[in-house]
Amino acid sequence: MNNVKKIGKPRLLMLGCGDVGMRMLPLVRDRFRVIVVTSKPERCDELRAAGAIPLVADLDRPDTLARLARLARVIVHLAPPQSSGEKDRRTRNLAAILPDRANLVYISTTGVYGDCGGASFDETRPTRPANPRARRRVDAEQVLRAWARRSGSRLAILRVPGIYARDRLPLERLQKGTPALRGEDDVYTNHIHADDLAAIAVRAIDRARPLRVYHAVDDSDMKMGDYFDAVARTFHLPPPPRLPRAELQQQVTPMMLSFMSESRRLRNDRLRNELGVRLRYPDVATLLETLS
């Protein structure tokens, strides 16, 4: 008689399953039993159809989180912070119930660096968040680092720039004629295709070093206005008008202005050398060429 127990798939807990999370599911559902936390009961059917096990809970309500504590030791945290305050209360609520000796991948943002004057740099650069949105992300990173050290867990932080895909291009902005900065005032921006980001997060589960930060960015080296111009050419739309910063700030939202006030170029050597990532879309032009 065979007394060996049949071992099922390991479980993966995913918090925040928007566009990138949905792109991740086909990459992990054969290997893991994927449990997706959602605060919206109406999404349960969609998540089941995508191969996940939905669990209704809310990171804004700590009383709903206790049952997550021992569900899985592989965790992907894609949920953004709440929209106000200096601290990420959602990540703080999550860290309070995370298990020991877990493996967590956190999706952060390149905004934690603030404005870098167009400098090119790697993950060793200190953070200098310039607005509450970025400070909440730095808070989340610090909270998760403290949890990982305390609990003997492995943590990978992916700092993510502007995400693009065929259905995530600034077409509405171009159709509205929203202006961009003139060349001498413009800022360098960083990019990653949504499919590549999903694949990077999966790769980080297995290959990330403990307490390691990775720039989840492609090889694009573009200023923001040049990105808008390239998309406009691809879709045969007028390029955005270019304005000096003093004029443009009268015409865009404060949030958009904050994005247009930070210039940086992030290197991705760790992504390639440590995670072994080979990008499907090494730059924005690769996608746009397929759409021309």
pLDDT one-digit tens code per residue, 58-82: 999 999 999 999 899 999 999 999 9
User: What are the φ/ψ torsions at residue 27 (nearest 5 degrees)?
Assistant: -85, -15
Question: What span, in angstroms and rounded, lies between the C-alpha atoms of 45 and 54?
Answer: 8
Q: Can you give the pLDDT at residue 7?
A: 61
C-beta of residue 77 within 8 angstroms of C-beta of residue 24: no
C-beta of residue 225 within 8 angstroms of C-beta of residue 258: no
Question: What span, in angstroms and rounded, lies between the C-alpha atoms of 138 and 113?
Answer: 9
For residue 166, the tally of other CB atoms under 10 A from its CB is: 12
Torsion of CA 260, 168, 279, 123, to 10 degrees: 30
Q: Can you give the pLDDT at residue 199?
A: 98
Q: Can you give the pLDDT at residue 259?
A: 87
Q: Can you give the pLDDT at residue 70?
A: 87
Q: Which residues contact 38 (CB under 8 A, 6 or more apart)?
A: 17, 44, 47, 54, 55, 56, 57
Residue numbers in the chain where pLDDT is lower than 70:
1-7
pTM of the predicted structure, to 2 decimals = 0.95
